[in-house]
A and B are shown apart, each in its own frame.
Chain A
């Protein structure tokens, strides 16, 4: 671990898909550092590499070049199993498509990180009912994902990301599949996770409204993090729109 230092540090990060001549350079030297307990948003158009950035930070994918430090650990130096264990300890994921396990109930989905860590029978389990209540899904705890609304699914997904106690939440377009109102509730929940639970939130989105919940907004342009940075709290949506216009996103 890296007490006091950034929880995520990315330098010279590159990622390309495919082989020449059809090779596509998705990320071309990303530099990014995220301090603990901060809510950081990375914005960019579709296909700009936002999701790829999250996959590289979480160690799900491997970069073509550059370095990723997660909780002070250089991912390149870790074995696949060690990377998985670091992700398990450090990262909670919130996906655009919810990615709940269809065969598990809401409660079981929320417990999933504990089950993976082998602590589902331990004291950690005690936090689960509280999370269900906090996200308003306690009455749906026995329901299966296909019986939920989009908002309920995403709230379940956030509860799952919090249940494991990981310090970093990686959120990939969490409102992309939700209605206006449901999206708003999800963003409030993520903000609360940062403020109340002390989690670091890294949100990637192309939704200006979502960006206004962040402490800091960065922009991914042409495979790199642009110099333009918006700082919150109290960001206005017009500021975000203006920045996007400036960067021609």
Chain B
């Protein structure tokens, strides 16, 4: 066995705990990063899989006044590509044998199929990636008119690339159209004209190929116009978003002149609040990885001191630099590789566990399986952890090799201090600069890296740098503060106070690193709880407008809405009754309510606004929608209607006073007079299964509930009052943020491992000293008290420092989250979580000190006093 392997093996054998906890530190860091990214990957994959997708980011319609909508869209900032298209039904017929000049076959009698037709600009459509060809050729590669068929349609008609097919608009009865609230049925269309197409290829079941479950035919845009020349077809556009621009930003630009609908699948996780949440989870993953690496650097820094003499001995025995480097590299390689493998496997297991429990990076949801592993990214993440750990291991040895051999052999303090100082600088730069940059290269931020996001990340890194760098920059301050605290805490025991105080003074780097680790986790916890408190505060503030004095009723049986309204208005405290089912979704949620039900409270209590609402196509926007679209009172909102083209509504007010029902994610909506909803969408407004009753301020909902129960004695009505709903939403918020708690718990464990490692290594270094104490009559309990007091001091200082930093960071984080998520967040602090966080830091630190205490009890005092 080579020298390197022998020494590495002996080192592991001598201190298995040190090796184990070093591996554990890096492994937990890597595992958290891997788990977070896998969780996010599967979350988006599963949620996107549930939604129908065209493959483009947005589907846009232009109002007639646009002369060159395609050009305008292409020129718009944030648009990466545009492809015109239209959709219609199509009749698909297989040519008979006679038409093909062949003998008659039994299949000749096969009836034509009706499928969905998509006519798409060929070149632009291809570059947008809205379809992929599974078999055969793409459009435009043959001499004549080509068609691509969806898999299901091709199988149904037994068609393959190279076959011919007849396409024609279907002979439909009358087209139903909603005009002024009435569904009008037109004259039956004339017999359709057939065009012959060559089946160029078969579409893969994604994007357009997934439309109508694969019963789709895709042809070129011009060929489509020719085929449907007798039918009105409305041109639409598929848009690809430039990744550097957020979805809402592009939507806000589009809203000024177009109507649009974003692709549900491609928009999963792309909304502002979702992006903020997902980025938050990613940053938490980075934080865990950094802390894991911090732990191993901390351990290596301690080992370095221990091994200065070893390097000196090897050098004096004429070992080459390469041989020396190999000794330490071998040990580090074993630790890093074991940690990488363990971290990768542990991360995937953790992701599987979290998914199974319903965790996701978009809040809690139904349990999910680990349907896919993003191997490329997770392997890169694990590799990053391993590479940085290796780099951290080899660097100090490279530094030491240039040091005077005699000084190394003596283990001179300046040599130790110099090596440690340079190592701290190196590791701080690595952790604060290199690792975050590499991490975001592997796992990029979700959405645009705008100024707010970049500033927030930079601020986080600066705080991280300061917390890691402080022990390096101000070692005496850390030493004196911790020593003073230790002496104060152990006033009754001179031995414990003196030894702990001196140990802390002598090891500012170790103590500082442990304090930093504890402070980082505490600060993150306090900052997170401050953020969630602000989000909860936002819900409460919003609830005061949207849910105060409000009664929500579900599961109403089929009943006339006017009758229900009449019944409820007999109660003097009822100010208005809104119908939950009076809704449409023309690119955003649109509710229709009679002006009479809204004008006794909120902004429409102003008669002028109420009149405009009822008579002039006015709209009241919820705060969130107005913020998302950048709209305010007086702006126009374009609404794409079923039969009246694009209609414009004037924003009368921005308020949450009306229209909120039961879904927390339905806070972005607009309210119009119900007569416009009827006119443009033919929505039934005479019955509803759910209502929202607005009560006079302070009124009890009991009378209204009783009236409904008496009217519908057999119905199983479900009622919620405003405060009850707020409570439910706050609970949901807490549950959604549990994923952060899980990550923080892991980072807390990491910091505990860091403290444990530091304490253990310090104890190993002081093994002789502790043996002397035993020889002089000190009880194991007294020696243990020294270790535990150190841990207590680390926990106290780390906890308090972290709480201070966390409290200081909260306003900045809340303000950044406010910008990133599009929510108007009040500034709240972590409140009662602050003392909890400090206590947890202390408890965790002391718990981490228990292992070294147990290890010390097993040490042989005789061995300690025998040696020089």
Contacts and interface: CB of A to CB of B under 8 A. Distances in A.
Interface of A: 51, 55, 58, 60-61, 81, 84-85, 87-89, 91, 93, 95-97, 99, 101-104, 108, 111-118, 120-121, 160, 164, 177
Interface of B: 493-495, 498-499, 502-503, 505-506, 768-769, 772-780, 782, 861-862, 865-868
In the A-B complex, the 9 residue pairs with the closest CB atoms: A88-B777, A103-B502, A115-B495, A120-B494, A97-B868, A115-B494, A99-B772, A116-B778, A87-B777
A55 B499 contact: no
Contacts of A95: 865
A118 B498 contact: no
Contacts of A97: 867-868
Given A55-B862, A115-B495, A84 B502 contact: no
A55 B863 CA distance: 10
20 contacts: A55-B865, A58-B775, A60-B774, A60-B861, A84-B774, A85-B779, A87-B775, A88-B777, A88-B778, A99-B772, A101-B769, A102-B769, A112-B776, A113-B776, A115-B494, A116-B773, A116-B778, A116-B782, A121-B494, A164-B777
A89 B505 CA distance: 31
A91 B776 CA distance: 8
A113 B774 contact: no
Contacts of B503: 103
Contacts of A51: 866
B868 A60 contact: no
B777 A113 contact: yes
A55 B769 CA distance: 17
Nearest to A81: B779
Given A58-B775, A91-B777, A103 B499 contact: yes
Given A85-B777, A112-B495, A116-B773, 5 more contacts: A60-B774, A60-B865, A88-B777, A95-B865, A103-B505
Main secondary structure of the interface of B (DSSP, over half): helix
Contacts of B502: 103-104
Contacts of B868: 96-97, 177
A116 B776 contact: yes
B767 to A, nearest CB: 12
A116 B775 contact: no
Contact of A99 (B505, B779, B780, B865): B865
B867 A115 contact: no
Contacts of B777: 84-85, 87-89, 91, 113, 116-117, 164
Nearest to B770: A101
Nearest to A161: B776
B373 to A, nearest CB: 50
A101 B772 contact: yes
B498 A115 contact: yes
A88 B776 contact: yes
Nearest to A96: B868
Contacts of A160: 776
A60 to B, nearest CB: 5
Contacts of A84: 774, 777-779
Interface hub of A102, A116, A117, A164 (most chain B Cβ within 10 A)? A116
A178 B782 CA distance: 32
A127 to B, nearest CB: 15
A115 B493 CA distance: 7
A118 B779 contact: no
A147 B182 CA distance: 102
A85 B782 CA distance: 12
Interface hub of B774, B777, B778, B868 (most chain A Cβ within 10 A)? B777
A99 B767 CA distance: 12
Nearest to B773: A116
B495 A116 contact: yes
A60 B772 CA distance: 10
A161 to B, nearest CB: 9
B836 to A, nearest CB: 35
A177 B867 CA distance: 12
A232 B502 CA distance: 45
Contacts of B773: 101, 112, 116
A206 B777 CA distance: 27
Contacts of A55: 862, 865
Nearest to B496: A115
B775 A93 contact: yes
A115 B501 CA distance: 14
A120 B495 contact: yes
B654 to A, nearest CB: 67
A121 B768 CA distance: 26
B498 A108 contact: yes
A96 B868 CA distance: 8
B863 to A, nearest CB: 10
Given A104-B502, A115-B495, A93 B776 contact: yes
A187 to B, nearest CB: 20
A81 B857 CA distance: 12
Contacts of B772: 99, 101
Contact of B775 (A60, A114, A117, A118): A60
B309 to A, nearest CB: 15
Contacts of A91: 777
Nearest to B778: A116
A60 B865 CA distance: 10
A55 B505 CA distance: 32
Contacts of A60: 774-775, 861-862, 865
Nearest to A52: B862
Contacts of A108: 498
A49 to B, nearest CB: 12
A245 B785 CA distance: 51
Contacts of B865: 55, 60, 93, 95, 99
A99 B774 CA distance: 12
A103 B495 contact: no
Contacts of B775: 58, 60, 87, 93, 99
Nearest to B861: A60
Contacts of A96: 868
Interface hub of A51, A60, A103 (most chain B Cβ within 10 A)? A103
Contacts of A58: 775
A60 B866 CA distance: 12
A180 B88 CA distance: 110
Nearest to A125: B494
Given A85-B779, A102-B769, A103-B499, A118 B861 contact: no
Contacts of A101: 499, 769, 772-773
A226 B777 CA distance: 31
A118 B774 contact: no
A104 B498 contact: yes
Contacts of A89: 777
Contacts of B495: 112, 115-116, 118, 120
B508 to A, nearest CB: 13
B862 to A, nearest CB: 5
A102 B862 CA distance: 19
A78 B837 CA distance: 45
Interface hub of A89, A95, A164 (most chain B Cβ within 10 A)? A95
Contacts of A85: 777, 779
Contacts of A104: 498-499, 502
A112 B782 CA distance: 13
A110 to B, nearest CB: 12
Nearest to A80: B780
A60 B776 CA distance: 10
A91 B861 CA distance: 15
Nearest to A88: B777
Contacts of B498: 104, 108, 115
Nearest to A118: B493
A61 B862 CA distance: 7
Contacts of B506: 103
Nearest to B501: A103
Interface hub of A84, A97, A118 (most chain B Cβ within 10 A)? A84
A78 to B, nearest CB: 13
B506 to A, nearest CB: 5
Contacts of A115: 493-495, 498
Contacts of B493: 115, 118
